[in-house]
């Protein structure tokens, strides 16, 4: 035995590093080939061409003098345009109440068939969709960028990476999350099996925002399809143009996988279309948007008592403690603030910096923000850092908020006004802005900005930072940067919000934890196990553990009632729940006496 070990050790020592690496690489390649051979049939390849207008350099659209979604001379249509250039893209019919009714009818019919599919069949659809996304990242982001004005990096983060991760998780973990869950039976009925089953709700609806049109539409789609639901998707009218392409992607995927594409219904329209969906009688509603509209959605849903999940934005904080590593924290905070031109529900809208690091932080972010370039990633010959504002009319609102804060004592270091593009003067941009010395009572802290604006505040103690954070009516997520992990955890427990990232931003979402908050930020959860189950009919079921051992009503408790019935139950309670052994023995005696009387 010892000779064998000695020989083996000697052989390994004689191998050089190159041979070891080649051996490891050979094993990895073999595993990948085997995986491909085993699972190749699970992927169906399909093709959907992106519209010509999405291609980089396209410049054939008419420049709109005053870009606006609504045309008073054509009220039944949505005027689609590129906010980064002001170029006209298309005119698309706005869906109406009749369209909603027809869509719901189609989805319900298709869902009757879809609910009979197996998880394996649903995974095949999702694997095929994932394969398409991976191989068409550029085209998907071009379309999103053309419709919203975002940069390609912002698109790769928000549209591609996050969507691929959600699909991966559902394929790998979704079936287990929806598996029947067994619970401990009561000592009153130890012969019972107690379980929870997760069934499809039927046909659900998702009314989603415009900031990430691909991701925001496909996440409720993939969750609903995996569960067995049909779905109506109503995207914001701001992104009606991109929805035409995204609709074709999922419909083609379903058709090529052999399923009825009517299981997914895309709708685009103005607020009346959204209200029609909410009142239509769908079996569940997910809404992503503002708090004010969320209240209207909940009110309309109450007519049918339709369950709602409401994602209503945030005013997230990043707390930088005195012991934080600024070199580590700064890039994350810059990304959390300026990603997608600040148009993120979990965007960092309040940066709280300890007084000992405050001046250094301000100096360093000033240098970085000065270098940021604004423009159209598809039409400008520069590396763009900050794209367009998707919604029109935001410049004046933001400028007024900043001016109000300056009059209240804040200092405007950079930006603070709309950016006028030299080639596209009607495009919608706002300069990357740095506003410092902001205090809790200032106007700018009372509403969500959704813009490329860094708001910096100073604090002295952890308790003060927590108080400032928790003072907001919003309560979605927060970040804490600290060199002391235990202090970061201590602070996270005291922040009134739904999500906290210690030394990071947005990590809870990519780690598939439930996404949501408190206050006017949220109602319900999506993402992760809890989010998947929230789109299910959760059914509690009991069955007999042993077929011939069933519940039997004692004669003393049967109708017509016996005089000893109350005493029997009292003794039963003592037997099951009293801590005294003597009292339990007495209770058994009492039960025998009650039963025989």
Look at residue 265 and give its three-state secondary structure: strand
Selecting among 237, 311, 431, 448, the annotated active-site residue is: 311
Strand partners, 207: 234, 287
Tens digits of residue pLDDT in 206-222: 999 999 999 999 999 99
Confidence band for 30, pLDDT divided at 50, 70 and 90: confident
Q: Angle at the Cα of 183 (from 179 to 187), degrees rounded to 5?
A: 160
- The first and second tokens of residue 267, run together, are 């709708």
Per-residue DSSP letter, 261: G
Q: What pLDDT is recorded for position 5?
A: 44
pLDDT tens by residue, 339-386: 999 999 999 999 999 999 999 999 999 999 999 999 999 999 999 999
pLDDT at 312: 92
Q: Is 12 a residue whose pLDDT tops 50?
A: no
Whether pLDDT at 4 is above 50: no
Res 10 pLDDT > 60: no
Mean pLDDT over 535-543 rounds to: 98
Q: Regarding predicted confidence, which is higher, 469 or 548?
A: 469
Task: Look at residue 37 in the predicted model and tell me its pLDDT.
Answer: 55
**379, 57 contact by CB (below 8 A):** yes
Mean pLDDT over the full length of the chain: 94
51-75 confidence digits (pLDDT tens): 999 999 999 999 999 999 999 889 9
Bridging pattern class, strands 308-311 and 285-288 = parallel
Average pLDDT of the residues in 248-268: 98
Percent of the chain topping pLDDT 90 = 90
List C-alpha distances in Å: 214 to 29, 127, 146, 207, 351: 33, 17, 12, 13, 29
The sign of the dihedral angle between the CA atoms of 335, 419, 213, 289 is positive
Q: Got the DSSP string for 445-497?
A: GGS---SSEEEEEEESSHHHHHHHHHTSSEESEEEEE-S-HHHHHHHHHHS-S
102 is catalytic: no
Buried b (16+ CB within 10 A) or exposed e, 567-576: bbeebbebbe
Percent of the chain with pLDDT over 70: 95
Q: Given pLDDT bands bounded at 50, 70 and 90, which one contains residue 23?
A: confident
- Give Cβ neighbours of residue 312 (< 8 Å, ≥ 6 apart): 287, 289, 290, 291, 294, 520, 521, 522, 523
Mean pLDDT of 141-161: 98
- Position 534 scores a pLDDT of 97
- Confidence tier at 478 by pLDDT (50, 70, 90): very high
Grade residue 21 by pLDDT with cuts at 50, 70 and 90: confident
Rounded CA-CA distance 449/397 in Å is 9
Choose the catalytic residue: 345, 469, 497, 536: 345
Task: Give the model's pLDDT for residue 264.
Answer: 98
- pLDDT tens digit string along 407-424? 999 999 999 999 999 999
Residue 522: pLDDT band with limits 50, 70, 90: confident
Q: Which CATH superfamily is domain 316-513 in?
A: Aldehyde Dehydrogenase; Chain A, domain 2 (3.40.309.10)
Domain topology for 95-313+532-539: Aldehyde Dehydrogenase; Chain A, domain 1 (3.40.605)
pLDDT over 50 (residue 329): yes
Strands 453-459, 536-544: pairing is: unpaired
Handedness of CA 570, 575, 576, 577 (dihedral sign): positive
pLDDT at 34: 65
Q: Catalytic: 530?
A: no
């Amino acid at each position: 035995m010892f000779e064998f070990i000695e020989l083996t050790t000697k052989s390994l020592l004689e191998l050089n590093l190159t041979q070891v690496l080649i051996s490891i690489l050979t094993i990895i390649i073999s595993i990948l080939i085997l995986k491909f051979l085993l699972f190749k049939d699970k992927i169906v390849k399909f093709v959907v061409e992106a519209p010509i207008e999405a291609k980089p350099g396209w410049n054939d659209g008419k420049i709109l003098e005053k870009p606006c979604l609504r045309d008073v001379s054509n009220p039944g249509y949505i005027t689609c345009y590129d906010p980064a250039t002001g170029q006209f893209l298309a005119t698309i019919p706005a869906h109406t109440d009749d369209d909603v009714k027809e869509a719901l009818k189609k989805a319900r019919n298709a869902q009757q068939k879809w609910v009979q599919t197996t998880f394996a069949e649903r995974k095949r659809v999702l694997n095929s969709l994932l394969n398409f996304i991976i191989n068409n990242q550029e085209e998907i982001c071009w379309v999103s960028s053309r419709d919203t004005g975002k940069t390609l990096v912002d698109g790769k983060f928000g549209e591609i990476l996050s969507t691929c991760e959600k699909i991966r998780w559902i394929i790998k973990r979704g079936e287990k999350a929806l598996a029947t869950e067994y619970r401990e039976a009561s000592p009153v009925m130890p012969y019972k099996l107690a379980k929870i089953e997760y069934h499809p709700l039927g046909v659900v609806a998702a009314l989603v925002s415009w900031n990430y049109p691909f991701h925001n539409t496909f996440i409720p789609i993939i969750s609903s399809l995996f569960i067995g639901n049909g779905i109506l998707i109503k995207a914001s009218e701001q992104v009606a143009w991109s929805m035409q392409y995204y609709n074709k992607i999922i419909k083609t995927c379903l058709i090529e996988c052999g399923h009825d594409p009517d299981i997914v219904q895309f709708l685009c329209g103005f607020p009346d279309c959204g209200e029609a969906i909410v009142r239509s009688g769908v079996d569940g509603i997910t809404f992503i948007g503002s708090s004010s509209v969320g209240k209207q959605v909940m009110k309309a849903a109450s007519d049918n008592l339709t369950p709602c999940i409401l994602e209503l934005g945030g005013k997230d904080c990043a707390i930088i403690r005195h012991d934080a590593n600024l070199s580590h924290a700064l890039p994350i905070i810059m990304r959390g603030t300026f990603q997608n031109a600040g148009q993120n529900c979990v965007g960092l809208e309040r940066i709280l910096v300890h007084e000992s690091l405050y001046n250094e932080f301000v100096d360093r972010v000033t240098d970085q923000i000065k270098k940021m370039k604004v423009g159209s990633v598809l039409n400008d010959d520069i590396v763009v850092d900050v794209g367009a504002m998707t919604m029109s009319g935001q410049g004046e609102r933001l400028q007024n908020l900043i001016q109000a804060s300056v009059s209240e004592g804040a200092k405007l270091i950079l930006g603070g006004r709309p950016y006028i593009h030299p080639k596209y003067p009607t495009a919608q941009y706002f300069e990357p802005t740095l506003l410092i010395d902001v205090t809790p009572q200032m106007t700018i802290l009372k509403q969500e900005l959704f813009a490329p604006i860094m708001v910096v505040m100073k604090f002295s103690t952890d308790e003060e930072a927590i108080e400032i954070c928790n003072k907001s009516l919003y309560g979605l997520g927060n970040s804490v940067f600290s060199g002391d992990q235990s202090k970061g955890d201590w602070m996270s427990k005291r922040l009134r919000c739904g999500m906290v990232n210690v030394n990071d931003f947005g990590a809870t979402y990519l780690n598939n934890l439930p996404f949501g908050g408190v206050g006017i930020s949220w109602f319900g959860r999506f993402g992760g196990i809890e989010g998947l189950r929230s789109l299910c009919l959760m059914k509690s079921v009991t069955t007999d553990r042993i077929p011939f051992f069933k519940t039997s009503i004692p004669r003393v408790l049967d109708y017509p009632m016996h005089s000893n019935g109350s005493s029997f139950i009292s003794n039963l309670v003592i037997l099951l729940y009293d801590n005294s052994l003597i009292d339990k023995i007495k209770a058994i005696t009492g039960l025998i006496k009650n039963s025989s009387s």
